[in-house]
């Protein structure tokens, strides 16, 4: 009896594997046929970038495309977000796929025929606007995924929710936005999402390759502000002061010991960086106060508490030792959780990525100390966030222009791999889950 049961289970497994293989090949062909459209969408978005919570033209193009495919569309979510709901012909789970939409206040320097010439006001200054992080490609890829899956609607075992998210780079001052706001407005409900997948193009990973990491893949992040208050005096008579500049220098120096002496770096990395120091107005006046701003990054809740507790302790106690005071605001204005890839889900879905790119082109990567607000979705449902190569073949990953810079550049030939990977993840997850 046990032998018969084993044979039956093996037969079912082989049948499912064969079905997945056939669907993966069909997806590959459909994605390749869409390459020119995907590139055209990306170039249009690239030439007409919009900052966070201002993606009006962008969201209009996306909504129009989804509607043309017969997909149910919701707009105005978290200001300019767009959600498409594709109900398959068969019962099954709800799979969410996410792309971010916003550009950055960066003036483009790449000599492309579709380079951005857009300018706008940002923090009271006129700035250039550029898709300097690849969100234009994310949108184009997900529009391609929508077209492929809409063509397979009657065979889909479940529902696909396409999430086009504004303000991943952060909402403008005084506004709410991004993934956190989309979650608050119920984007993971009605229908309730079971799993979510997302990708990020990477300009320093060779085109044709996918890199991933189970567990903590991108850092949790909090910004910080420390205000040191002392006593002002003439620069010629420093003994009359409590010098907040000297105190701040000691604090900054001591903060570096948190990573080198408190965090177990053999398990997870961490970062403590001070990026802004403001104090004083004249060379011979010791100021009354100094303000510092910076960022802390970590990969576990334990390390988050360890780092933040030590920042507060070092700042306040160092100031106290000099007769000054230090006010610590941590987080100051933003906090992103760790982008955490569900370990069991990642292991289960790894063959789907390998089917898209070839096993030799799917590689494990170290943790990334950058942050992503995709993490807010992963706090609510299991998810996988992976990286798609965008560097020309043979390029140097060290010298290739990085994200958020004026020279950021992508090889467009790798976009269809993103379509294949997201489609494979969706169909393989659906086919591997029980109907409901």
From first to last of the 436 residues of the chain, give the pLDDT tens digit.
545 444 443 444 444 455 667 778 889 999 999 999 999 999 999 999 999 999 999 999 999 999 999 999 999 999 999 999 999 999 999 999 999 999 999 999 999 999 999 999 998 899 999 999 999 999 999 999 999 999 999 999 999 999 999 999 999 988 999 999 999 999 999 999 999 999 999 999 999 999 999 999 999 999 999 999 999 999 999 999 999 999 999 999 999 999 999 999 999 999 999 999 999 999 999 999 999 999 999 999 999 999 999 999 999 999 999 999 999 999 999 899 999 999 999 999 999 999 999 999 999 999 999 999 999 999 999 999 999 999 999 999 999 999 999 999 999 999 999 999 999 999 999 999 644 4
Q: What gap in Å lies between CA 218 and CA 212, rounded to an integer?
A: 10
CA distances from 213 to 39, 188, 217, 345, 350 (A): 28, 24, 5, 12, 10
Pairing of strands 220-229, 335-336: antiparallel
38 CB-contact burial (10 Å; exposed 0-12 / middle 13-18 / buried 19+): buried
What is the predicted pLDDT for the residue at 2? 47
Closest CA to 159 of 89, 54, 261, 259: 89
336 is catalytic: yes
Q: What gap in Å lies between CA 233 and CA 138, rounded to an integer?
A: 55
Is the CB of residue 69 less than 8 Å from the CB of residue 62? no
**Within 13 Å and on the Cβ side, how many CA atoms surround 184?**
8
Is the CB of residue 234 less than 8 Å from the CB of residue 284? yes
What is the predicted pLDDT for the residue at 17? 56
What is the predicted pLDDT for the residue at 7? 46
Q: What gap in Å lies between CA 360 and CA 383, rounded to an integer?
A: 23
Residues in the chain: 436
Catalytic: which of 212, 298, 336, 429?
336
What is the predicted pLDDT for the residue at 18? 55
412 is catalytic: yes
**Within 13 Å and on the Cβ side, how many CA atoms surround 73?**
21
What is the predicted pLDDT for the residue at 173? 87
Is the CB of residue 335 less than 8 Å from the CB of residue 371? no
Q: String of b and e for 284-293 (b: at least 16 CB within 10 Å)? A: eebbbbbbbb
What is the predicted pLDDT for the residue at 20? 65
Q: What gap in Å lies between CA 213 and CA 346, rounded to an integer?
A: 8
For residue 72, how many other CB atoms are within 10 A of its CB?
13
Enclosing H/E stretch for 18 = helix 2-33
Q: What gap in Å lies between CA 222 and CA 204, rounded to an integer?
A: 25
């Amino acid at each position: 009896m046990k032998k018969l049961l084993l044979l039956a289970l093996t037969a079912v497994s082989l049948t499912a594997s064969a079905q997945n293989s056939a669907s993966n090949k069909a997806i590959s062909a459909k994605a390749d046929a869409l390459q020119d459209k995907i590139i055209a969408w990306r170039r249009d978005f690239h030439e007409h970038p919009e900052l966070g919570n201002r993606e009006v033209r962008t969201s209009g193009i996306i909504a129009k495309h989804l509607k043309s495919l017969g997909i149910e569309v919701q707009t105005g979510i978290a200001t300019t977000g767009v959600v498409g709901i594709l109900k398959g012909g068969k019962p099954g789970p709800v799979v969410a796929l996410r792309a971010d939409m916003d550009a950055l206040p960066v003036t483009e320097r790449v000599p492309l025929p579709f380079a951005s010439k857009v300018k706008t006001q940002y923090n009271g200054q006129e700035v250039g606007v550029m898709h300097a992080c690849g969100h234009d490609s994310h949108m184009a890829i997900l529009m391609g995924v929508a077209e492929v899956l809409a063509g397979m609607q009657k065979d889909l075992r479940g529902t696909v929710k396409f999430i086009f998210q504004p303000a991943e780079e952060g909402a403008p001052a005084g506004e709410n936005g991004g993934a956190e706001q989309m979650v608050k407005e119920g984007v993971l409900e009605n229908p309730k999402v079971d799993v979510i997948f997302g990708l990020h193009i990477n300009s320093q990973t060779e085109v044709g390759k996918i890199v991933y990491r189970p567990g903590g893949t991108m850092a949790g992040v909090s910004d910080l502000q420390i205000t040191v208050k002392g006593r002002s005096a003439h620069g010629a008579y420093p003994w009359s002061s409590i010098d907040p500049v000297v105190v701040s220098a000691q604090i900054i120096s001591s903060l570096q010991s948190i990573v080198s002496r408190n965090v177990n770096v053999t398990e997870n990395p961490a970062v403590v960086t001070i990026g802004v120091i403001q104090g004083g107005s004249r060379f011979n006046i010791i100021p009354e106060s100094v303000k510092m701003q910076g960022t802390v990054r970590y990969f576990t809740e334990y390390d988050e508490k360890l780092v933040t507790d030590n920042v507060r302790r070092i700042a306040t106690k160092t100031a106290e030792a000099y007769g000054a005071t230090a006010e610590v605001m941590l987080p100051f204005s933003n906090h992103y959780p760790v982008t955490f890839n569900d370990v069991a889900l990642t292991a289960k879905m790894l063959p789907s990525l390998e089917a898209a790119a070839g096993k030799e082109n799917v590689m494990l990567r170290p943790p990334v100390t950058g942050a992503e607000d995709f993490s807010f979705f992963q706090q609510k449902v299991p998810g996988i966030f992976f990286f798609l190569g965008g560097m020309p073949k043979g390029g140097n990953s060290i010298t290739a222009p990085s994200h958020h810079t004026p020279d950021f550049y992508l090889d467009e030939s790798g976009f269809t791999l993103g379509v294949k990977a997201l489609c494979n993840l969706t169909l393989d997850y659906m086919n591997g889950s029980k109907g409901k």
